[in-house]
Structure 1
């Protein structure tokens, strides 16, 4: 796969790398926490985890994603295309942590210089002891560009809407795979 521009010299635009894997989230940011029930069972967990860590869920939700590698790994560079047509914004990020564990699969990426926001966002699929599968997004962010500062309270509303859309998309992908016998 083609290396992304400046992939060897990322410049994070926030100091709190890895904070989505810890609590509490850092002060001075808008915090987002959204949880969606995906389904039940090991197959749903594995399908949802793969859809998250390969960006299949993001792409199916309408985002344009460019990445250095097929599946996420720490240090991999990601460019997220936000918007439509001439209003599309490219948002550079880098994966700061991953989880490939028996009951937790996911990752977080942090924003790089040039991203319209600064902060971090994690996308994690969990398998509870009772077999329930959950998808959870945790984020902290604040404006880093004039247009996101101007948008003010609209940005958190859009972020929450996208979290809901991504959870709904992931549920559909996992359900479709289970129905198909995967």
Structure 2
């Protein structure tokens, strides 16, 4: 891991990093929760968001290594990460991965699907990061914009997948 605060997305995000915290309602009911959870468990949300995923196993297994690829083969960003924890509860499913050497950033990102008592299904992302590679540091606002675009793509993808589309 390239950072000391492994697992910190479970609680308050650590200082000294850029933070992302976003939660949205993605539907209602147990079927929606189940579809969204399965899509998250098998990297389907990430693939539907436009990333190529090369993983040693499902996202719901701590210790699984993955490389997330964005872009074309000529201009491609490669992000190596490892699943640091997974949540498999009756009304909560998700996981977090942390960065490995070679990732452009250093930090952690968590993805959580929650079925509320009122039947609403929410999707949350919590992340903390800072540039690790020179290109990410030089990218500044562009790096942040790419992060925001990918985060929005995750939400669009999970909404579609949870609805069965």
Please say if residues 44 and 133 of structure 1, whose CA atoms lie closer than 8 Å, have aligned partners that are also in contact: yes
Q: TM-score, normalised by structure 2?
A: 0.96
Aligned counterpart in structure 2 of residue 53 of structure 1, from 26, 34, 41: 41
Paired position in structure 2 for 1:20: 9
Stretch of structure 1 that moved more, 45-54 or 68-77 = 68-77
For these two proteins, the number of residue pairs brought into alignment is: 165
Greater fraction of residues in strand: 2
Please say if residues 34 and 160 of structure 1, whose CA atoms lie closer than 8 Å, have aligned partners that are also in contact: no
Aligned counterpart in structure 1 of residue 109 of structure 2, from 121, 130, 143: 121
Shift of 1:72: 2.6
Larger radius of gyration: 1
Q: TM-score, normalised by structure 1?
A: 0.87
Structure 1 residue ranges without an equivalent (≥5): 1-11, 178-182
Structure 2 residue ranges without an equivalent (≥5): none
Please say if residues 17 and 110 of structure 1, whose CA atoms lie closer than 8 Å, have aligned partners that are also in contact: yes
The secondary structure found in structure 1 opposite 2:163 is helix
Shift of 1:43: 0.6
Aligned counterpart in structure 2 of residue 135 of structure 1, from 100, 103, 123: 123
Paired position in structure 1 for 2:140: 152
Shift of 1:71: 4.5
Give the Cα–Cα distance (whole angstroms) in 2 for the partners of residues 33 and 47 of structure 1. 23
List structure 1 runs of 4+ shifted beyond 3 angstroms: none
